[in-house]
Amino acid sequence: MNTRRRSLTLLAAAALAATLSAGAHAQANEKIKVGLMLPYTGTFAALGTAIENGFRLYVQEQGGKIGGREIEFFKVDDESDPAKGPENANKLVKRDQVDVLVGTVHSGVAMAMAKVAKDTNTLLIVPNAGADAVTGPLCAPNIFRSSFSNWQPAYAMGLVAAEQQKHKTAVTLTWKYAAGDESVRGFKEGFESKGGKVVRELNLPFPNVEFQSLLTEIAALKPDAVYVFFAGGGAVKFVKDYAAAGLKGRIPLYGAGFLTDGTLEAQGAAAEGLLTTLHYADGLNNAKDKTFRLNYAKTYKLQPDVYAVQGYDAAQMLAAGLQAAGGDIKKRDAVVKGMEQARIDSPRGSFTMSKAHNPVQDIYLRKVEGKENRVVSVAAKNLADPARGCRMTQ
Ligand code: BEZ
């Protein structure tokens, strides 16, 4: 090679190195784009806000960064409307080009998000919706959940109702959609495995709150117990209506813990003494929970609930993935591996990820005392969702 050709080659190599280094530098400085798809209106509005608060609190505690990278938020109100799910998810993925989707509360909307995430290979962290399918038939390497499957708290409640409370018959009542159906199925599985019998399954469309005729039917059926799945504004109304109908004290009422979480101020005396099962409770007394509650109350002038915990832990999971990938969200395999292998130090107690990417966690039995869901016992230790139908391929 003559001198002129050699210097041209060297110049080209230097230019390429400069471009690559500028690219790496820009990438290291680029913010991680987080797309929050949550309900900010409707019966689950307070749940969406609590999730966002929890997520932001963790970022704030890390000095505004996760895995050394600044965060930029993009938001969509999903209105808990499954029909708008694909369009809303695509706004974040295609228009805003987010690096990670975080959402949502409603199981039907979450299933639509999971399909978009699969089709576009976008990282998704579900910070509430329990749709069993998300970590069942829809499971995928890029889909994680920081919350629960609908089966988990419901199954545990079924065990408690039969084994500990010695009930023989139960009537179930829920909104007719994926979360309600799966919650009832989980309760029934636990309850009937220990000799109980679900004698009637009642429901009404989501998010209706005209409970009167259903309460009359329950009174006529006279089961040993009633199991329900309601959350948010609907849960407030149901617990008050149950007491007003004179059923409280006559037929014990149980539920997945969403029935009384984040709702006690509004439910007042109508909720006193109710037993529910959930992966969070008041009085857990671990160090992480104490700090979390203090910081949450200081930041938002509110007490946190299970939804805030799930938002906080979604951020912790993302941080674990980013740390494993040296802060590079594009190193998907490393991010996924980091999230899969993490032990999350959660306010609920520490948890790990199942093979299907759902928390393996303790489910607590809680009792309403005043404005708190006080922990009574561990209803199911280290409970893993059965992940029926999950084949981890994409
Ligand atoms: C759900 O749709 O999965 C859900 C909604 C509110 C609370 C818990 C679960």
Residue-level pLDDT at 65: 96
Whose C-alpha lies nearest to ligand 1, atom 6? 231
Pairing of strands 123-126, 143-145: parallel
State yes or no: cis peptide before 304, omega within 30 of 0. Answer: no
CATH 3.40.50.2300 in the chain, residues?
31-148+285-360, 151-278
Q: Would you tell me how many other CB atoms lie within 10 Å of the CB of residue 91?
A: 16
- The ligand 1 atom at the shortest distance from the C-alpha of residue 177 is 2
Residue 44 alpha carbon, nearest atom of ligand 1:
6
Q: What is the pLDDT along the chain (394 residues), one digit of tens a residue?
A: 454 555 545 444 444 444 444 344 445 569 999 999 999 999 999 999 999 999 999 999 999 999 999 999 999 999 999 999 999 999 999 999 999 999 999 999 999 999 999 999 999 999 999 999 999 999 999 999 999 999 999 999 999 999 999 999 999 999 999 999 999 999 999 999 999 999 999 999 999 999 999 999 999 999 999 999 999 999 999 999 999 999 999 999 999 999 999 999 999 999 999 999 999 999 999 999 999 999 999 999 999 999 999 999 999 999 999 999 999 999 999 999 999 999 999 999 999 999 999 999 999 999 999 999 999 999 999 999 999 999 987 5
Q: Which of 81, 106, 134 to mutate to test the pocket of ligand 1 (most atoms within 8 A of CB)?
A: 106
DSSP assignment letter at 3:
H
Look at residue 230 in the predicted model and tell me its pLDDT. Answer: 98
DSSP string, 11-50: HHHHHHHHHHHHHHHHHHHSPEEEEEEE--SSTTHHHHHH
Q: By alpha-carbon position, which residue is closest to atom 9 of ligand 1?
A: 129
* Ligand 1 site, residue 258, Cβ cutoff 6 A: yes
Question: From the CB of 105, is ligand 1 less than 6 Å away?
Answer: yes
**CATH H superfamily, domain 31-148+285-360:** Response regulator (3.40.50.2300)
Q: Are 143 and 133 in contact (CB under 8 A)?
A: no
Run of H or E residues at 242: helix 232-244
Given the CA of residue 150, which atom of ligand 1 is nearest to it?
A: 3
The alpha carbon of 175 and the centre of ligand 1 are apart by a number of angstroms equal to: 10
Q: Is the CB of 50 under 6 A from ligand 1?
A: no
What spacing in Å lies between the alpha carbon of 272 and ligand 1's midpoint? 22
Q: Is 206 in the pocket of ligand 1 (CB under 6 A)?
A: no
CATH topology of domain 151-278: Rossmann fold (3.40.50)
Residue whose C-alpha is closest to residue 362's, from 375, 371, 349: 349
Q: How far apart are CA 340 and CA 338, in angstroms?
A: 6
Q: Is 276 in the pocket of ligand 1 (CB under 6 A)?
A: no
Ligand 1 mean position, distance from CA 116 (Å): 20
129 lines ligand 1 (CB under 6 A): yes
Ligand 1 centre from 179 Cα, in Å? 6
Q: Is 386 in the pocket of ligand 1 (CB under 6 A)?
A: no
How far apart, in Å, are the Cα atoms of 78 and each of 12, 54, 290, 347? 50, 18, 32, 27
| CA 300 centroid distance within chain | 20
344 C-beta closer than 6 A to ligand 1? no
CA 220 to CA 122: how far, in whole Å? 50
- Which of 255, 234, 373, 253 minimizes the C-alpha distance to 305? 373
CA dihedral 142, 147, 151, 152 (to 10 degrees): 120
Q: In what order do the strands lie in the sheet with 32-38?
A: 65-66, 69-77, 32-38, 100-102, 123-126, 143-145
Predicted pLDDT at 120:
98
Query: Are 178 and 110 spatial neighbours (Cβ–Cβ below 8 Å)?
Result: no
DSSP summary character for residue 177 = S
Distance of CA 258 from the midpoint of ligand 1 (Å)? 8
pLDDT computed for residue 10 by the predictor? 47
pLDDT of 28:
58
Q: Is 130 in the pocket of ligand 1 (CB under 6 A)?
A: yes
Is residue 263 within 6 Å of ligand 1 at its C-beta? no
